[in-house]
Structure 1
Amino acid sequence: MFDDFLIRATLAAVGVAIAAALLGCFVVWRRMAYFGDATAHAAILGVALSLALSISVFAGALAVAVVMATIVAGVAGRSYGEDTLLGVLSHASLALGLVAVSLLPGVRVDLSAYLFGDILAVGKRDLAIIWVGVVLVAALIFARWSRLLTATLDRDLAHASGIDPRREQLVLMLALAVVVAVAIKVVGALLITALLIIPAAAARPFGRTPEGMATGAVLLGVVSAIGGMGAAYRFDTPTGPTIVTVAAGLFVLSNLARLRSGAGA
């Protein structure tokens, strides 16, 4: 696995895994899976926009993901049927994006590359964009860790401390938009939510502190990325789905270990 394109692909997968794992902890704690789906699915509409305007796919996906993130952050907590509304936004934006791509004149697009990722096609410019996004998201989370954590764990304490929970929610959603935009080429719009949730969920049984869970999630995310790349190369399987499959396997092993330790106690 020393070919240039494989090295670039592995570095891209590791970068996305790190950013997704850090953000994924808050997604798990806040039960924001629907928010992740809505933002990720909207990225396909961004792909159509970028192709229509002949601009970077990253720029188009980021623009639409930011708009969707702002919308879903705005509706959070304001509607009794919040999960229903998010479901409508998620699937409607995905369907609209797919239809829009199919209607572009003179453009032939491999939609599977955007739905499930095309990590082996990552170039040097793509890799640079991915890692800039990873660094930005990681820096944002570390800089606002205390505020984000307080707003996540206790809204009343957050208000008493002068922290606006809705503002922190918006910060998380904007960070999610960046992760979606940089991850679309790695695991695709349909799988990014899995990469957000599964490593964090696998680390949760053994994370005695929020920081411990975040560290464990990052480690499991990196192992999933590298293990998935190796398995895809070895068995000639789709890389994005293979990375998620490895992550799912680690989740199963994590819970089996938890059950075994609980039985032993």
Structure 2
Amino acid sequence: MLAGIGVALVAGPLGCFVVWRKMAYFGDTMAHSALLGVALGLLFGVAPMIGVFAVGLVVALLLSGFLQKPFLSGDTLLGTLSHASLALGVLLISLMTWLRVDLLGYLFGDILSVTRTDLLWIYAVGGITLILLARLWRPLLALTVDRELAGAEGMNVISCELTLMLVIAAVIALAMKVVGILLITSML
């Protein structure tokens, strides 16, 4: 229960910007790519949360770069990245026959398997995320209202957008065990 409350406390304010900026499908793409992060984390013998954050960073950088100079529409790019990374994650996990992976636990979460260490991570990173959101609230709000106007006011638009994407990736990595990769977008 404490884990669910911790995730909800962070997902609520973050979800405001996801909805206001019409980034719901972006959140879905980041969540689907998390399974690839889990697979890579398990493959390289590191914590799945680290793999999820690393893949989230790569996806955020790719999306940021591709959306600056689009050669495909945003929806096409998000859909391709979303489903390709989910499929690659399932494929990698299925090829790791030496490991027994609870795929349903990663996809839909398992709130009953949360440990004290997980709670510590949820509240520590959640607190940092909330502090970061509080500091960036005005720039993110200005960016949400009008991207060009925010840039004209001297705000570094690209770094602010990238920070928001990375915060979303961190929250997805945290919430993965509690609510699952497929259901986290419903909280955002």
Q: TM-score, normalised by structure 2?
A: 0.95
Give the Cα separation in 1 of the matches to 2:149 and 2:157.
10
Match status 1:144 vs 2:136: yes
Give the Cα separation in 2 of the matches to 1:127 and 1:46.
21
Give the Cα separation in 1 of the matches to 2:15 and 2:81.
21
What is the RMSD computed on CA atoms of the aligned residues?
Answer: 1.2
Aligned equivalent of 1:134, options 126, 131, 156: 126
Give the Cα separation in 2 of the matches to 1:63 and 1:107.
21
**What displacement does 1:105 show?**
3.1
Partner of 2:107: 115
| Correspondence list, 1:78-227, <5 A | 78-79=69-70, 80-196=72-188
Q: Provide structure 2 residue ranges, at least 5 long, that are not aligned to the other structure.
A: none
Aligned equivalent of 1:70, options 61, 64, 67: 61
- Kindly indicate whether the alpha-carbon contact (under 8 Å) linking 1:113 and 1:188 is maintained by their aligned counterparts in 2: yes
- Kindly indicate whether the alpha-carbon contact (under 8 Å) linking 1:151 and 1:164 is maintained by their aligned counterparts in 2: no
Aligned equivalent of 2:23, options 4, 14, 32: 32
**What displacement does 1:54 show?**
2.0
The residue identity in structure 2 corresponding to 1:61 is V
- Give structure 1 regions of 4+ aligned residues with deviation exceeding 3 angstroms: none
Indicate the structure whose relative CO is greater, using CA pairs within 8 Å and at least 6 residues apart. Answer: 2
- Kindly indicate whether the alpha-carbon contact (under 8 Å) linking 1:45 and 1:94 is maintained by their aligned counterparts in 2: yes
| Cα deviation digits, residues 130-151 of structure 1 (max 9, x gap) | 1112111111110111111111
The residue identity in structure 2 corresponding to 1:50 is G
| Cα deviation digits, residues 195-222 of structure 1 (max 9, x gap) | 10xxxxxxxxxxxxxxxxxxxxxxxxxx
Q: TM-score, normalised by structure 1?
A: 0.68
**What displacement does 1:77 show?**
4.8
Aligned equivalent of 1:52, options 39, 43, 50: 43
Structure 1 range deviating more: 71-80 or 105-114: 71-80
- Kindly indicate whether the alpha-carbon contact (under 8 Å) linking 1:43 and 1:65 is maintained by their aligned counterparts in 2: yes
Give the Cα separation in 1 of the matches to 2:49 and 2:122.
9
**What displacement does 1:73 show?**
2.1
| Alignment size in residue pairs | 187
**What displacement does 1:74 show?**
2.1
